[in-house]
Structure 1
Amino acid sequence: MEKSNQLFNQEQQIIHRLLLNAPFIPSVGLLTGQVGIALAFYTYYRHTECAVYGDFAGELLDNALESLDKSIDIAFSNGLTGIGWGIEYLILKGFVDGCGVEICENIDQKIMESDPRRISDLSLEQGLEGLIHYVLIHISASIKQNVRLPFDSLYLKDLYTVVKQACQEDIPDSFRSLAEIYMDFIEKQEPIDYPLHLFSFIDIVHLDTDKLTDYPLGIKDGLAGLLLKEITNE
Protein backbone atom coordinates (compact mmCIF):
# COMPACT_ATOMS: atom_id res chain seq x y z
CA MET A 1 0.00 0.00 0.00
CA GLU A 2 1.35 3.42 -0.97
CA LYS A 3 2.25 5.61 1.98
CA SER A 4 1.20 9.25 2.17
CA ASN A 5 4.07 11.73 1.90
CA GLN A 6 2.40 14.03 4.38
CA LEU A 7 0.96 13.36 7.80
CA PHE A 8 -1.28 16.45 7.52
CA ASN A 9 -2.84 18.17 4.55
CA GLN A 10 -2.04 21.79 3.75
CA GLU A 11 -4.96 23.24 5.69
CA GLN A 12 -4.09 21.23 8.79
CA GLN A 13 -0.45 22.30 8.57
CA ILE A 14 -1.49 25.96 8.43
CA ILE A 15 -3.84 25.56 11.40
CA HIS A 16 -1.21 23.82 13.51
CA ARG A 17 1.42 26.46 12.83
CA LEU A 18 -0.99 29.31 13.63
CA LEU A 19 -2.20 27.67 16.84
CA LEU A 20 1.34 27.14 18.05
CA ASN A 21 2.83 30.51 17.11
CA ALA A 22 0.17 33.22 16.82
CA PRO A 23 -0.02 34.01 20.57
CA PHE A 24 3.70 34.82 20.63
CA ILE A 25 4.17 37.13 17.64
CA PRO A 26 4.98 40.74 18.59
CA SER A 27 2.46 42.42 16.28
CA VAL A 28 -1.14 42.69 17.49
CA GLY A 29 -2.31 44.44 14.31
CA LEU A 30 -4.76 43.64 11.54
CA LEU A 31 -2.61 42.91 8.50
CA THR A 32 0.46 41.47 10.19
CA GLY A 33 -0.61 40.37 13.65
CA GLN A 34 -3.00 38.83 16.11
CA VAL A 35 -6.18 40.75 15.27
CA GLY A 36 -6.01 39.60 11.65
CA ILE A 37 -5.32 36.02 12.73
CA ALA A 38 -8.29 36.27 15.10
CA LEU A 39 -10.48 37.24 12.13
CA ALA A 40 -9.24 34.17 10.28
CA PHE A 41 -10.00 31.86 13.20
CA TYR A 42 -13.45 33.33 13.81
CA THR A 43 -14.18 32.65 10.15
CA TYR A 44 -12.73 29.14 10.41
CA TYR A 45 -14.84 28.52 13.51
CA ARG A 46 -17.98 29.40 11.59
CA HIS A 47 -16.77 27.20 8.71
CA THR A 48 -16.05 24.14 10.88
CA GLU A 49 -18.37 24.73 13.87
CA CYS A 50 -15.47 23.64 16.08
CA ALA A 51 -15.56 25.68 19.31
CA VAL A 52 -11.80 25.34 19.83
CA TYR A 53 -11.16 27.74 16.96
CA GLY A 54 -13.69 30.27 18.23
CA ASP A 55 -12.13 30.17 21.69
CA PHE A 56 -8.66 30.63 20.23
CA ALA A 57 -9.84 33.62 18.18
CA GLY A 58 -11.35 35.19 21.27
CA GLU A 59 -8.11 34.74 23.21
CA LEU A 60 -6.10 36.41 20.44
CA LEU A 61 -8.52 39.34 20.29
CA ASP A 62 -8.50 39.77 24.07
CA ASN A 63 -4.72 39.67 24.12
CA ALA A 64 -4.52 42.31 21.40
CA LEU A 65 -6.91 44.64 23.24
CA GLU A 66 -5.05 44.18 26.52
CA SER A 67 -1.78 45.02 24.78
CA LEU A 68 -2.88 48.41 23.52
CA ASP A 69 -0.77 51.20 24.91
CA LYS A 70 0.62 54.58 23.93
CA SER A 71 3.54 53.01 22.06
CA ILE A 72 1.30 51.67 19.28
CA ASP A 73 0.94 54.02 16.32
CA ILE A 74 -2.19 54.50 14.23
CA ALA A 75 -1.03 52.58 11.14
CA PHE A 76 -3.57 50.27 9.51
CA SER A 77 -1.09 47.44 9.04
CA ASN A 78 -0.06 46.91 12.64
CA GLY A 79 -1.55 49.81 14.60
CA LEU A 80 -4.73 51.30 16.00
CA THR A 81 -6.76 51.96 12.85
CA GLY A 82 -6.35 48.36 11.71
CA ILE A 83 -7.24 47.00 15.14
CA GLY A 84 -10.34 49.19 15.25
CA TRP A 85 -11.29 48.08 11.74
CA GLY A 86 -11.00 44.46 12.81
CA ILE A 87 -13.26 45.02 15.81
CA GLU A 88 -15.96 46.65 13.68
CA TYR A 89 -15.67 43.85 11.11
CA LEU A 90 -16.22 41.20 13.77
CA ILE A 91 -19.27 43.06 15.12
CA LEU A 92 -20.79 43.61 11.68
CA LYS A 93 -20.27 39.95 10.77
CA GLY A 94 -21.85 38.79 14.01
CA PHE A 95 -18.75 37.12 15.44
CA VAL A 96 -18.77 39.26 18.59
CA ASP A 97 -21.34 41.44 20.33
CA GLY A 98 -20.91 45.03 21.36
CA CYS A 99 -20.80 48.63 20.23
CA GLY A 100 -17.71 49.61 18.28
CA VAL A 101 -17.91 53.23 19.40
CA GLU A 102 -17.68 52.14 23.04
CA ILE A 103 -15.06 49.43 22.53
CA CYS A 104 -12.84 51.66 20.40
CA GLU A 105 -13.24 54.87 22.41
CA ASN A 106 -9.62 54.92 23.60
CA ILE A 107 -8.41 54.05 20.11
CA ASP A 108 -10.40 56.96 18.65
CA GLN A 109 -9.07 59.40 21.22
CA LYS A 110 -5.52 58.39 20.36
CA ILE A 111 -6.21 58.76 16.63
CA MET A 112 -7.69 62.23 17.09
CA GLU A 113 -4.50 63.34 18.84
CA SER A 114 -2.78 63.17 15.42
CA ASP A 115 -3.47 65.94 12.92
CA PRO A 116 -4.62 64.24 9.68
CA ARG A 117 -3.51 67.29 7.70
CA ARG A 118 0.08 66.37 8.49
CA ILE A 119 -0.18 62.88 7.01
CA SER A 120 1.91 62.73 3.84
CA ASP A 121 1.86 58.95 3.39
CA LEU A 122 -1.17 57.93 1.30
CA SER A 123 -0.66 54.16 1.55
CA LEU A 124 -3.03 51.56 2.98
CA GLU A 125 -0.48 50.07 5.36
CA GLN A 126 0.94 53.20 6.99
CA GLY A 127 -0.97 56.20 5.70
CA LEU A 128 -4.15 57.96 4.76
CA GLU A 129 -5.88 55.16 2.85
CA GLY A 130 -5.84 52.92 5.92
CA LEU A 131 -7.15 55.74 8.10
CA ILE A 132 -10.07 56.34 5.73
CA HIS A 133 -10.91 52.63 5.79
CA TYR A 134 -11.24 52.79 9.56
CA VAL A 135 -13.16 56.06 9.64
CA LEU A 136 -15.68 54.82 7.07
CA ILE A 137 -16.38 51.43 8.66
CA HIS A 138 -16.54 53.06 12.11
CA ILE A 139 -18.98 55.81 11.12
CA SER A 140 -21.08 53.42 9.04
CA ALA A 141 -21.40 51.01 11.98
CA SER A 142 -22.27 53.80 14.42
CA ILE A 143 -25.08 54.97 12.14
CA LYS A 144 -26.43 51.41 11.83
CA GLN A 145 -26.41 51.06 15.62
CA ASN A 146 -27.95 54.52 16.05
CA VAL A 147 -25.22 55.76 18.39
CA ARG A 148 -23.11 58.90 18.38
CA LEU A 149 -20.44 59.40 15.73
CA PRO A 150 -17.03 58.22 16.94
CA PHE A 151 -15.09 61.34 15.87
CA ASP A 152 -15.71 64.99 16.64
CA SER A 153 -16.68 67.48 13.93
CA LEU A 154 -13.29 69.23 13.92
CA TYR A 155 -11.42 66.01 13.24
CA LEU A 156 -13.84 65.02 10.48
CA LYS A 157 -13.45 68.46 8.90
CA ASP A 158 -9.65 68.31 9.02
CA LEU A 159 -9.69 64.83 7.52
CA TYR A 160 -11.98 66.08 4.75
CA THR A 161 -9.49 68.82 3.94
CA VAL A 162 -6.57 66.44 3.46
CA VAL A 163 -8.66 63.86 1.58
CA LYS A 164 -9.95 66.47 -0.86
CA GLN A 165 -6.45 67.77 -1.41
CA ALA A 166 -5.11 64.26 -2.03
CA CYS A 167 -7.76 63.73 -4.72
CA GLN A 168 -6.11 66.47 -6.77
CA GLU A 169 -3.10 64.21 -7.19
CA ASP A 170 -2.49 60.99 -9.10
CA ILE A 171 -3.76 58.44 -6.57
CA PRO A 172 -4.65 54.72 -6.77
CA ASP A 173 -8.24 53.82 -7.64
CA SER A 174 -8.61 52.10 -4.27
CA PHE A 175 -7.83 55.38 -2.51
CA ARG A 176 -10.03 57.49 -4.76
CA SER A 177 -13.11 55.30 -4.32
CA LEU A 178 -12.83 55.55 -0.52
CA ALA A 179 -12.16 59.28 -0.69
CA GLU A 180 -15.29 59.88 -2.76
CA ILE A 181 -17.45 57.97 -0.26
CA TYR A 182 -16.05 60.06 2.58
CA MET A 183 -16.39 63.39 0.76
CA ASP A 184 -19.99 62.61 -0.20
CA PHE A 185 -20.73 61.90 3.45
CA ILE A 186 -19.27 65.23 4.56
CA GLU A 187 -20.55 67.38 1.68
CA LYS A 188 -23.98 65.86 1.09
CA GLN A 189 -24.60 63.92 4.31
CA GLU A 190 -25.16 60.87 2.13
CA PRO A 191 -25.29 57.43 3.82
CA ILE A 192 -21.96 55.62 3.81
CA ASP A 193 -21.99 52.58 1.53
CA TYR A 194 -18.75 51.09 2.77
CA PRO A 195 -17.54 47.97 0.89
CA LEU A 196 -16.73 45.39 3.57
CA HIS A 197 -14.10 43.48 1.60
CA LEU A 198 -11.60 41.81 3.90
CA PHE A 199 -10.06 39.91 0.99
CA SER A 200 -8.86 43.10 -0.67
CA PHE A 201 -6.23 43.22 2.09
CA ILE A 202 -4.86 39.73 1.33
CA ASP A 203 -1.91 39.43 -1.07
CA ILE A 204 -0.74 35.84 -0.60
CA VAL A 205 -1.68 33.52 -3.48
CA HIS A 206 -0.18 30.07 -2.86
CA LEU A 207 1.86 28.13 -0.34
CA ASP A 208 5.01 26.06 -0.72
CA THR A 209 4.47 23.50 2.04
CA ASP A 210 8.17 22.60 2.02
CA LYS A 211 8.90 26.14 3.26
CA LEU A 212 5.98 26.49 5.68
CA THR A 213 8.11 27.84 8.51
CA ASP A 214 9.40 30.65 6.28
CA TYR A 215 5.98 32.27 5.89
CA PRO A 216 4.73 35.07 8.16
CA LEU A 217 1.49 34.39 10.04
CA GLY A 218 -0.67 37.43 9.26
CA ILE A 219 -3.50 37.88 6.79
CA LYS A 220 -1.77 40.22 4.33
CA ASP A 221 0.98 37.95 3.06
CA GLY A 222 0.95 35.04 5.46
CA LEU A 223 -0.73 31.84 6.56
CA ALA A 224 -3.87 33.40 8.04
CA GLY A 225 -4.62 35.10 4.72
CA LEU A 226 -4.11 31.84 2.87
CA LEU A 227 -6.43 30.04 5.30
CA LEU A 228 -9.16 32.62 4.62
CA LYS A 229 -8.75 32.12 0.88
CA GLU A 230 -8.94 28.34 1.20
CA ILE A 231 -12.16 28.58 3.19
CA THR A 232 -13.71 30.82 0.55
CA ASN A 233 -12.66 28.59 -2.35
CA GLU A 234 -14.21 25.44 -0.87
Structure 2
Amino acid sequence: MMENIILKRIANCLVLNVQQASITGLLEGNIGMALYIYHYAKTNNLQSYFDIADSIVDYTIEHYLKNVNRVFSSGLYGIGWAIWYMKQKGFVEISDDAFDDFETIVKQSYSSIEIEQDLKTAFPVFSKGLYCVQSGKPENLEYALNAIDEIMEYGDKMSLTSCYLNSILYVLRRIEEADCENEHLQSNKAFWYSFIKENPSIYANEDCNFYIAQQMAPSLFPQTGLSDWFNVLECGYMNWQSVLYREYINLPDLDLSGQEIMSIDEVINNASINRLSLNGITSLGLNLINRE
Protein backbone atom coordinates (compact mmCIF):
# COMPACT_ATOMS: atom_id res chain seq x y z
CA MET A 1 0.00 0.00 0.00
CA MET A 2 2.73 2.46 0.96
CA GLU A 3 4.68 1.50 -2.14
CA ASN A 4 1.68 2.38 -4.34
CA ILE A 5 1.47 5.78 -2.67
CA ILE A 6 5.14 6.45 -3.41
CA LEU A 7 4.72 5.34 -7.03
CA LYS A 8 1.77 7.70 -7.46
CA ARG A 9 3.69 10.60 -5.91
CA ILE A 10 6.63 10.01 -8.22
CA ALA A 11 4.34 9.84 -11.26
CA ASN A 12 2.52 13.03 -10.35
CA CYS A 13 5.77 14.85 -9.61
CA LEU A 14 7.21 13.86 -13.00
CA VAL A 15 4.05 14.78 -14.89
CA LEU A 16 3.99 18.21 -13.27
CA ASN A 17 7.65 18.92 -13.96
CA VAL A 18 8.70 17.01 -17.08
CA GLN A 19 7.91 19.86 -19.46
CA GLN A 20 10.31 22.10 -17.51
CA ALA A 21 13.30 19.89 -18.29
CA SER A 22 15.52 21.78 -20.71
CA ILE A 23 17.51 18.63 -21.59
CA THR A 24 15.93 15.91 -23.73
CA GLY A 25 18.44 13.19 -22.92
CA LEU A 26 18.04 9.83 -21.23
CA LEU A 27 20.00 10.19 -17.99
CA GLU A 28 19.60 13.92 -17.47
CA GLY A 29 16.42 14.89 -19.29
CA ASN A 30 12.78 14.30 -20.03
CA ILE A 31 13.06 11.23 -22.28
CA GLY A 32 14.23 9.28 -19.23
CA MET A 33 11.30 10.56 -17.19
CA ALA A 34 8.95 9.37 -19.94
CA LEU A 35 10.10 5.79 -19.29
CA TYR A 36 8.59 5.85 -15.81
CA ILE A 37 5.42 7.64 -16.92
CA TYR A 38 4.84 4.88 -19.50
CA HIS A 39 5.40 2.13 -16.92
CA TYR A 40 3.09 3.79 -14.42
CA ALA A 41 0.43 4.35 -17.08
CA LYS A 42 0.56 0.70 -18.14
CA THR A 43 0.46 -0.63 -14.58
CA ASN A 44 -2.54 1.54 -13.68
CA ASN A 45 -4.25 1.70 -17.10
CA LEU A 46 -4.09 5.51 -17.25
CA GLN A 47 -4.53 6.74 -20.80
CA SER A 48 -3.89 10.36 -19.83
CA TYR A 49 -0.40 9.42 -18.63
CA PHE A 50 0.23 7.50 -21.85
CA ASP A 51 -0.71 10.64 -23.76
CA ILE A 52 1.75 12.75 -21.76
CA ALA A 53 4.60 10.30 -22.38
CA ASP A 54 3.67 10.08 -26.07
CA SER A 55 3.86 13.86 -26.39
CA ILE A 56 7.37 13.86 -24.90
CA VAL A 57 8.57 11.20 -27.34
CA ASP A 58 6.91 12.84 -30.35
CA TYR A 59 8.40 16.23 -29.50
CA THR A 60 11.85 14.73 -29.01
CA ILE A 61 11.79 12.90 -32.33
CA GLU A 62 10.43 15.89 -34.23
CA HIS A 63 12.65 18.64 -32.84
CA TYR A 64 15.85 17.24 -31.38
CA LEU A 65 17.27 14.26 -33.22
CA LYS A 66 19.19 16.37 -35.72
CA ASN A 67 20.41 18.91 -33.18
CA VAL A 68 21.83 17.04 -30.20
CA ASN A 69 25.22 15.56 -29.40
CA ARG A 70 25.80 11.82 -29.48
CA VAL A 71 26.63 11.09 -25.84
CA PHE A 72 24.44 8.62 -23.98
CA SER A 73 23.49 10.81 -21.04
CA SER A 74 22.06 13.79 -22.90
CA GLY A 75 22.35 13.05 -26.60
CA LEU A 76 21.43 10.93 -29.57
CA TYR A 77 22.53 7.48 -28.44
CA GLY A 78 20.65 7.72 -25.15
CA ILE A 79 17.50 8.93 -26.90
CA GLY A 80 17.81 6.05 -29.37
CA TRP A 81 18.29 3.57 -26.51
CA ALA A 82 15.12 4.90 -24.87
CA ILE A 83 13.02 4.68 -28.04
CA TRP A 84 14.15 1.10 -28.67
CA TYR A 85 13.30 0.28 -25.05
CA MET A 86 9.84 1.84 -25.41
CA LYS A 87 9.19 -0.03 -28.65
CA GLN A 88 10.29 -3.35 -27.15
CA LYS A 89 8.04 -2.80 -24.13
CA GLY A 90 5.09 -2.01 -26.38
CA PHE A 91 4.80 1.59 -25.18
CA VAL A 92 5.16 3.09 -28.65
CA GLU A 93 4.33 1.96 -32.16
CA ILE A 94 7.07 3.28 -34.33
CA SER A 95 8.39 2.27 -37.73
CA ASP A 96 11.99 1.33 -38.39
CA ASP A 97 12.28 4.49 -40.49
CA ALA A 98 12.27 6.50 -37.25
CA PHE A 99 15.68 5.00 -36.46
CA ASP A 100 17.32 6.09 -39.73
CA ASP A 101 19.24 8.94 -38.07
CA PHE A 102 20.59 6.57 -35.42
CA GLU A 103 21.50 3.84 -37.90
CA THR A 104 23.39 6.27 -40.14
CA ILE A 105 25.56 7.36 -37.22
CA VAL A 106 26.08 3.80 -35.95
CA LYS A 107 27.74 2.89 -39.26
CA GLN A 108 30.33 5.63 -38.80
CA SER A 109 33.61 5.04 -36.99
CA TYR A 110 33.87 5.61 -33.24
CA SER A 111 36.61 8.22 -33.39
CA SER A 112 38.97 9.32 -30.64
CA ILE A 113 37.05 12.60 -30.53
CA GLU A 114 33.83 10.72 -29.82
CA ILE A 115 35.54 8.59 -27.17
CA GLU A 116 36.79 11.74 -25.46
CA GLN A 117 33.33 13.30 -25.62
CA ASP A 118 31.94 10.25 -23.84
CA LEU A 119 34.68 10.41 -21.21
CA LYS A 120 34.11 14.10 -20.47
CA THR A 121 30.44 13.73 -19.53
CA ALA A 122 29.14 13.44 -15.97
CA PHE A 123 28.22 9.83 -16.82
CA PRO A 124 31.11 8.47 -18.93
CA VAL A 125 29.92 5.39 -20.81
CA PHE A 126 30.41 3.66 -24.16
CA SER A 127 27.47 5.45 -25.80
CA LYS A 128 27.55 3.77 -29.18
CA GLY A 129 27.80 0.27 -27.74
CA LEU A 130 24.90 0.78 -25.34
CA TYR A 131 22.67 1.90 -28.20
CA CYS A 132 23.74 -1.01 -30.41
CA VAL A 133 23.01 -3.76 -27.90
CA GLN A 134 19.64 -2.27 -26.95
CA SER A 135 18.57 -2.29 -30.61
CA GLY A 136 19.36 -6.00 -30.74
CA LYS A 137 20.03 -5.86 -34.47
CA PRO A 138 22.80 -8.34 -35.46
CA GLU A 139 24.53 -5.80 -37.69
CA ASN A 140 24.59 -3.30 -34.82
CA LEU A 141 26.24 -5.84 -32.53
CA GLU A 142 29.05 -6.06 -35.07
CA TYR A 143 29.25 -2.26 -35.24
CA ALA A 144 29.62 -2.27 -31.46
CA LEU A 145 32.51 -4.72 -31.68
CA ASN A 146 34.15 -2.57 -34.36
CA ALA A 147 33.83 0.42 -32.04
CA ILE A 148 35.45 -1.58 -29.25
CA ASP A 149 38.34 -2.28 -31.64
CA GLU A 150 38.73 1.48 -31.97
CA ILE A 151 38.75 1.92 -28.19
CA MET A 152 41.50 -0.71 -28.04
CA GLU A 153 43.54 1.52 -30.37
CA TYR A 154 42.83 4.65 -28.34
CA GLY A 155 46.11 6.24 -27.27
CA ASP A 156 45.24 7.05 -23.66
CA LYS A 157 43.48 3.96 -22.35
CA MET A 158 44.52 4.77 -18.78
CA SER A 159 42.08 7.69 -18.93
CA LEU A 160 39.19 5.24 -19.28
CA THR A 161 37.20 5.37 -16.06
CA SER A 162 35.73 2.46 -14.12
CA CYS A 163 32.26 3.62 -15.17
CA TYR A 164 33.25 3.59 -18.84
CA LEU A 165 34.91 0.17 -18.54
CA ASN A 166 31.79 -1.22 -16.90
CA SER A 167 29.75 -0.16 -19.91
CA ILE A 168 32.20 -2.00 -22.18
CA LEU A 169 31.88 -5.12 -20.00
CA TYR A 170 28.11 -4.81 -20.18
CA VAL A 171 28.12 -4.50 -23.98
CA LEU A 172 30.41 -7.53 -24.27
CA ARG A 173 28.15 -9.56 -22.02
CA ARG A 174 25.02 -8.63 -23.96
CA ILE A 175 26.70 -9.56 -27.26
CA GLU A 176 27.92 -12.83 -25.76
CA GLU A 177 24.38 -13.74 -24.76
CA ALA A 178 23.22 -13.06 -28.32
CA ASP A 179 26.13 -14.69 -30.15
CA CYS A 180 28.52 -16.52 -27.83
CA GLU A 181 30.51 -18.13 -30.67
CA ASN A 182 31.51 -14.82 -32.21
CA GLU A 183 35.31 -14.84 -32.60
CA HIS A 184 35.43 -11.06 -32.84
CA LEU A 185 33.68 -10.90 -29.47
CA GLN A 186 36.06 -13.38 -27.86
CA SER A 187 39.15 -11.46 -28.95
CA ASN A 188 37.70 -8.20 -27.61
CA LYS A 189 36.70 -9.84 -24.36
CA ALA A 190 40.18 -11.31 -23.89
CA PHE A 191 41.78 -7.90 -24.46
CA TRP A 192 39.64 -6.07 -21.89
CA TYR A 193 39.83 -8.78 -19.27
CA SER A 194 43.61 -8.68 -19.59
CA PHE A 195 43.67 -4.87 -19.49
CA ILE A 196 41.59 -4.73 -16.30
CA LYS A 197 43.67 -7.44 -14.61
CA GLU A 198 46.85 -5.51 -15.41
CA ASN A 199 45.40 -2.21 -14.11
CA PRO A 200 43.52 -2.98 -10.88
CA SER A 201 44.01 0.60 -9.67
CA ILE A 202 41.20 1.68 -12.02
CA TYR A 203 38.73 0.25 -9.51
CA ALA A 204 40.57 1.38 -6.38
CA ASN A 205 38.23 3.09 -3.89
CA GLU A 206 35.32 2.56 -6.29
CA ASP A 207 32.87 0.47 -4.27
CA CYS A 208 29.88 1.16 -6.50
CA ASN A 209 31.58 0.59 -9.84
CA PHE A 210 33.63 -2.32 -8.53
CA TYR A 211 30.47 -4.10 -7.40
CA ILE A 212 28.90 -3.54 -10.82
CA ALA A 213 32.05 -4.86 -12.53
CA GLN A 214 31.84 -8.00 -10.39
CA GLN A 215 28.35 -8.63 -11.73
CA MET A 216 29.30 -7.91 -15.34
CA ALA A 217 32.36 -10.15 -15.34
CA PRO A 218 32.06 -12.66 -12.47
CA SER A 219 34.98 -14.74 -13.74
CA LEU A 220 37.25 -11.69 -13.63
CA PHE A 221 36.66 -10.50 -10.07
CA PRO A 222 36.42 -12.16 -6.65
CA GLN A 223 32.81 -12.03 -5.50
CA THR A 224 31.91 -10.09 -2.37
CA GLY A 225 28.67 -8.94 -0.82
CA LEU A 226 26.98 -5.60 -1.15
CA SER A 227 28.86 -2.73 0.41
CA ASP A 228 27.49 0.12 2.48
CA TRP A 229 27.33 2.32 -0.63
CA PHE A 230 24.20 0.51 -1.79
CA ASN A 231 21.72 2.47 0.27
CA VAL A 232 18.43 3.63 -1.14
CA LEU A 233 18.74 7.38 -1.37
CA GLU A 234 22.43 7.86 -2.08
CA CYS A 235 23.36 5.39 -4.78
CA GLY A 236 21.47 2.13 -5.06
CA TYR A 237 17.87 2.68 -5.99
CA MET A 238 18.39 6.23 -7.23
CA ASN A 239 21.20 5.67 -9.70
CA TRP A 240 20.91 5.31 -13.47
CA GLN A 241 23.17 2.24 -13.38
CA SER A 242 20.60 0.32 -11.32
CA VAL A 243 18.16 0.72 -14.25
CA LEU A 244 20.52 0.27 -17.18
CA TYR A 245 22.25 -2.81 -15.73
CA ARG A 246 19.22 -4.11 -13.87
CA GLU A 247 19.35 -7.70 -15.16
CA TYR A 248 22.84 -8.14 -13.69
CA ILE A 249 22.63 -6.17 -10.44
CA ASN A 250 21.03 -7.75 -7.39
CA LEU A 251 19.30 -4.88 -5.62
CA PRO A 252 18.72 -5.31 -1.88
CA ASP A 253 15.20 -5.45 -0.48
CA LEU A 254 13.70 -2.03 0.10
CA ASP A 255 11.60 -1.65 3.23
CA LEU A 256 9.24 1.24 2.58
CA SER A 257 8.25 2.11 6.08
CA GLY A 258 8.68 4.86 8.61
CA GLN A 259 11.76 6.97 8.12
CA GLU A 260 12.37 5.64 4.61
CA ILE A 261 8.99 6.92 3.43
CA MET A 262 9.66 10.32 4.98
CA SER A 263 13.08 10.50 3.33
CA ILE A 264 11.68 9.62 -0.10
CA ASP A 265 8.88 12.15 0.35
CA GLU A 266 11.40 14.84 1.17
CA VAL A 267 13.43 14.08 -1.94
CA ILE A 268 10.32 14.16 -4.14
CA ASN A 269 9.04 17.40 -2.65
CA ASN A 270 12.37 19.21 -2.93
CA ALA A 271 13.87 17.70 -6.05
CA SER A 272 15.38 19.88 -8.72
CA ILE A 273 14.68 19.02 -12.36
CA ASN A 274 18.03 17.24 -12.53
CA ARG A 275 17.21 15.19 -9.44
CA LEU A 276 13.96 14.05 -11.06
CA SER A 277 15.90 12.46 -13.92
CA LEU A 278 16.89 8.84 -14.51
CA ASN A 279 19.80 9.49 -12.17
CA GLY A 280 17.39 10.20 -9.32
CA ILE A 281 13.66 9.97 -8.67
CA THR A 282 12.91 8.31 -12.01
CA SER A 283 15.30 5.43 -11.32
CA LEU A 284 13.77 4.91 -7.88
CA GLY A 285 10.32 4.73 -9.46
CA LEU A 286 11.43 2.32 -12.17
CA ASN A 287 13.13 0.03 -9.67
CA LEU A 288 10.04 -0.03 -7.46
CA ILE A 289 7.52 -0.51 -10.24
CA ASN A 290 9.52 -3.29 -11.94
CA ARG A 291 10.26 -5.44 -8.93
CA GLU A 292 7.98 -8.41 -8.39
TM-score normalized by structure 2? Answer: 0.58
Find 2:130's aligned residue among 122, 129, 133: 133
RMSD: 3.8
**What CA deviation, in whole Å up to 9, does each residue of 1:65-113 have, x standing for no partner?**
122154410010110000000011111122222344x212123335656
Could you say if the C-alpha distance between residues 233 and 161 of structure 1 is closer, same or farther in structure 2, counting changes exceeding 3 Å?
A: closer
Alignment partners' CA distance in 1, 2:120 and 2:102: 20
Find 1:175's aligned residue among 156, 167, 175: 167
Q: What's the secondary structure of 1:47's corresponding residue? A: helix
Could you say if the C-alpha distance between residues 73 and 30 of structure 1 is closer, same or farther in structure 2, counting changes exceeding 3 Å?
A: same
Alignment of 1:200-211 (within 5 A): 200=244, 207-211=263-267
Percent of aligned pairs with the same amino acid: 21
Find 1:159's aligned residue among 137, 147, 153: 147
Unmatched runs of 5 consecutive residues or more in structure 2: 186-215, 217-240, 247-253, 255-259
8 Å contact kept, 1:72–1:79? yes
Unmatched runs of 5 consecutive residues or more in structure 1: 1-7, 144-148
Match of 1:199 in 2: 243
8 Å contact kept, 1:76–1:125? no
8 Å contact kept, 1:32–1:78? yes
Alignment partners' CA distance in 2, 1:89 and 1:165: 31
Alignment partners' CA distance in 2, 1:183 and 1:49: 34
8 Å contact kept, 1:36–1:86? yes
Number of aligned positions between the proteins: 209
Distance apart, 1:14 and its partner CA = 2.2
Match of 1:79 in 2: 75
8 Å contact kept, 1:76–1:124? no
Alignment partner of 1:231 is 2:275: no
Match of 2:277 in 1: 218
Alignment partners' CA distance in 2, 1:201 and 1:157: 19
Q: What's the secondary structure of 2:276's corresponding residue? A: coil
TM-score normalized by structure 1? Answer: 0.70
**What CA deviation, in whole Å up to 9, does each residue of 1:13-62 have, x standing for no partner?**
32222111102211111112121111111111111111111111111111
8 Å contact kept, 2:72–2:79? yes
Alignment partners' CA distance in 1, 2:245 and 2:173: 19
